[in-house]
Amino acid sequence: MNDVHRLYRVVYIHENSGWRVRAANGAFASATYPSHEQAVAYAKELARGHGWARIVVHREDGTVGRDFVLGSDRRERVVGGRDLRVVRHSWS
C-alpha cells in the first residue's frame, strides 16, 4: 500500500448543502453532489484512473467516516492502524 498515487477527500459543503470531492493538495474540487453516495462514487471513479488512490470520506460534521485505499483491482483496503479521531476540515 505504499504505492498510493493520489489522495481524495469527500467533504460536506454546508453553504451548498452538498458533497464535494477534493484532491489532497486542494488544486481540484468537483461539482457539488446532492448525495453522499454520488460523491463517493465519483471519488472512486477518479481513483481508478490513477491505479492506487486513498479516499478519506468525511461525515457532515467533518469527522472521518471511512479511510480506505482503492486499487486498480477495484478492491477497497481499509487503512489500518490509524487513529480515526475527530478531523475537521477548514475548506468550504
pLDDT, mean over the chain: 77
- Position 86 scores a pLDDT of 36
Whether 88 shows a pLDDT value over 60: the answer reads no
Among 43, 41, 74, CA closest to 56: 43
- Position 80 scores a pLDDT of 57
Residue 34 and residue 16: Cα distance in Å, rounded? Answer: 9
User: Where exactly are the structural domains of the chain?
Assistant: 6-78
pTM over 0.85: no
Of residues 11 and 52, the one with the higher pLDDT is 11
- Position 16 scores a pLDDT of 83
What does DSSP say about strands 53-58 and 6-13: parallel, antiparallel, or unpaired?
A: parallel
Whether 87 shows a pLDDT value over 50: the answer reads no
